[in-house]
Amino acid sequence: MLLTITANPSLDRVLHLPHLAIGQVHRATSLKLVAAGKGLNVVRAAVTLGAPALATGMLAGRHGQIVAELFQADGFAADWYWLPAGETRVCTMLNQDSGDTTVINEPGPDISAAEWAGFAAHVQALAQSAWAVVFCGSMPPGVPPDAPGQLARALAGNGLPVYFDVGYQHLPSLLDNPQGVCVKVNRAELAAGLGHSLDSVGALEPVIEAGQRLLARGATQVVVTLGSAGALAVSPEGVWQAIPPAVAVVSTVGSGDSLTAGLMAAQLRGLPLAQALAHGVAAGAANALNSVPGRLELAEFEQLLARVRVNQY
């Protein structure tokens, strides 16, 4: 199974609005409550793509109970770590007719050192039965900057494929020492984590050079998402860019997580990185056709996969 680690899950309120204007009263045309968080999105997409997956994360309070109930009702597997106090965060997504999405993310409950230690032990126990692990999303307040990276490196040291897709506050410490870990970021996160710009009139050379520096520090591979330009993979075997076809976007939220799911599922099936990257990009594009993050249609994925272009550098 794939094990996804979401330290800061959320209860998402997904509303659709014809348009959004600051300072005005709006009436939503629809509302969905979704058990959310990047790792939960990865599970949804991975299961659709035929890869068994298990989610874990820290939950608390009534909102946490609703997250667990919604995720179970959707038919997905999870083994949660329950906090003794606090409340799981609620995040709000405002989807417009234009395809634009406005996201308001709450911070999450405060985590003590003892709670993080308990969660890390919980993850290590679950990882003993996993084929691969992915760390996803932001961390709640109180988690030390290097804590996720330390846990990721410990699991990688046990021989597990470990993917790291964690928020900018905890990314720099991992980029300093990515030993044994697959780094998965978007271009802006990579620039912020390294502390310098990667812009060069849209050119990929600075991104490729940054990926190669991370390989020299011990990363197993580096995957950088590029929005509508797809994604770039840098590995000891080579460098590839996978570019998806244009789609009629409903919401891009969760597309990066779906890309992670497609990439991991394909690599665990033994596909080479270039093909796995194409699977990831197709999954990300299929996600953009739906309003719920990570919920993609297999037929749409397969149609998009056939149209993905892969370039080698």
Query: What number of residues does the chain have?
Result: 313
Picking from 123, 139, 213, 207, the residue whose alpha carbon sits closest to that of residue 175 is 213
- Residue 132, token pair as written in the block: 């691969």
Picking from 188, 282, 275, 258, the residue whose alpha carbon sits closest to that of residue 226 is 188
- The one catalytic residue in 97, 110, 146, 257 is 257
Catalytic: 97? no
Label residues 21-50 b or e (16+ Cβ within 10 Å = b). Answer: eeeeeeeeeeeeebbbbbbbbbbbbbbbbe
Rounded Cα gap, residues 38 and 294, in angstroms = 9
Task: Give residues with Cβ within 8 angstroms of 254, minimum separation 6.
Answer: 38, 41, 45, 287, 292, 293, 294, 295
> Could you tell me the sign of the dihedral formed by the alpha carbons of 98, 165, 245, 305, in that order?
negative
**CA distances from residue 249 to 19, 120, 125, 174, 238 in whole angstroms, order as listed:** 15, 37, 39, 32, 31
Task: Give residues with Cβ within 8 angstroms of 7, minimum separation 6.
Answer: 57, 58, 111, 119, 135, 137, 138, 139, 140, 143, 148
Please identify every residue annotated as catalytic: 257
